[in-house]
Amino acid sequence: MGWKELAESKYDLVPGEEDVLGSNAMDGGAYVSIKLADYTYHVNHVYETVDGGFELLCREDFTGTPGSNVLLSSKNQLGFEEVESRSVVLPNTDGYEFNFSYYRRSYTLNIEHGSGIKKVTGEGTYLYEQEVTISAELEESTAEHSYTWDKWTKKTDEGEEDFATKQSGYKFTMPAEDLTLKANATESTNSYKQIIQKRYEKADGTFTEWEDVINKDIEYGKEFRWSVEAVGDYQAASIAPYRVTEDRTTRVTIYRKRFNVTVDKSTGISETTGTEEYRVGQTVTVTATPATGYSWKNWTSTDITGSNDQTYEFTMPRKAVTITANATINTYNITYNLEGGTNNASNPANYTIETEAIKLKDPTRTGYTFAGWTGSN
């Protein structure tokens, strides 16, 4: 048997078939077909890395006949540019490699922000799976409002949904889609400590220690007011209403009720003391001085209990007091030294400071003529 050799090619003998490359007659008139043998081929699927290089992620091996048409299928992945499958003619090279290169897609990141967010960073265009850093800066607090970080949300066709973090600064890898994120803050109205302290005036004019009546946080802008009604010995008290804008401590003194004492004087009283305003419970002292020709009698009043004491102390009640100083007129006896004579019946036996000038009648004595009155006054 003889063979026709084709240099640098591989052939298989196929008895009984027509020679696809040319035929050689064999002894006896038979034919032997000479056919190219199958080669091994490789298909490499290489994917772009984030840093711009490439990485082999998949390798496929197959055998085929050189010169034949073969459809090579691509392996498209999410986040990479699509590559079409392609039909190739197998070359006459054993171990030949075909390459599919897949390039990463770029996606856009938009960042919005709501109230309370001063600025955001991180917007831009990123490759699929590229590391992204986003951050949000809060607005500075004002006297009225404060801001605290809430969360990142992602805009969707249906609205918004929570994103993957509640941190204002965050790193993530870019997904295979355009993103619109929103930085969200929570606005809260500031509250300020409002303290009301009170003290009470004592009957002697001194005061109790300060004590808290109110000690609580009130929101900015709220109207704040406080008052207490008059109760018992004490007057009503209040503060002027105001809008809360800061911490504030207000001190209120609750004073005792005050009433007037009026000291009247009846006939025979020349001077009195004690007419003025007094605190309820205060010790009141009143005095009176009888006029010449009068003696002290007593104090009388329809508001308090009277007294015989010329200097009188009493506790101020919860009402005004009128008190009267009373005196008794003095009566002075007249002593007549008639030296044996007889007094005139019209001559008085006594007199008072109120008595008008007395003109004495002459006494009589047998055998005598009245010469006149002499005496100490």
Tens digits of per-residue pLDDT, 11-31? 343 443 433 334 444 444 444
Low-confidence ranges of the chain (pLDDT < 70): 1-36, 376-377
Q: Is 116 left (phi over 0), alpha (psi -120 to 50) or beta?
A: left
Hey, which residues does 322 pair with through a beta bridge? 262
What is the pLDDT, as a whole number, of residue 374? 87
The neighbour count for residue 185, using CB atoms within 10 Å, is 22
What is the pLDDT, as a whole number, of residue 3? 27
The DSSP letter of residue 94 is: T
What is the pLDDT, as a whole number, of residue 280? 98
In the chain, DSSP finds a helix count (H) and a strand count (E) of 0, 32
Residue appearing with tokens 């171990």: 95
Tokens of 293: 């020709």
What is the pLDDT, as a whole number, of residue 376? 67
What is the pLDDT, as a whole number, of residue 102? 97
Hey, which residues does 131 pair with through a beta bridge? 173
What is the pLDDT, as a whole number, of residue 249? 98
Tokens of 128: 């699929």
- Cα–Cα distance, 355 to 162 (Å, whole number): 111
What is the pLDDT, as a whole number, of residue 35? 57
- From residue 304, alpha-carbon distances to 267, 299, 320, 369 in Å are 21, 10, 10, 62
Task: Please give the backbone phi and psi of residue 213, each rounded to the nearest 5 degrees, phi first.
Answer: -100, -40
- Cα–Cα distance, 154 to 94 (Å, whole number): 53
Residues 102 and 47 sit within 8 Å (Cβ to Cβ): yes
What is the pLDDT, as a whole number, of residue 37? 80
Residues 114 and 100 sit within 8 Å (Cβ to Cβ): no
pTM to 2 decimal places: 0.62
What is the pLDDT, as a whole number, of residue 164? 77
Closest C-alpha to 359, from 344, 371, 370? 344
Element (H, E) at 276: strand 276-279
**What residue type is 268 in one-letter code?**
G
Hey, which residues does 314 pair with through a beta bridge? 284
What is the pLDDT, as a whole number, of residue 31? 43
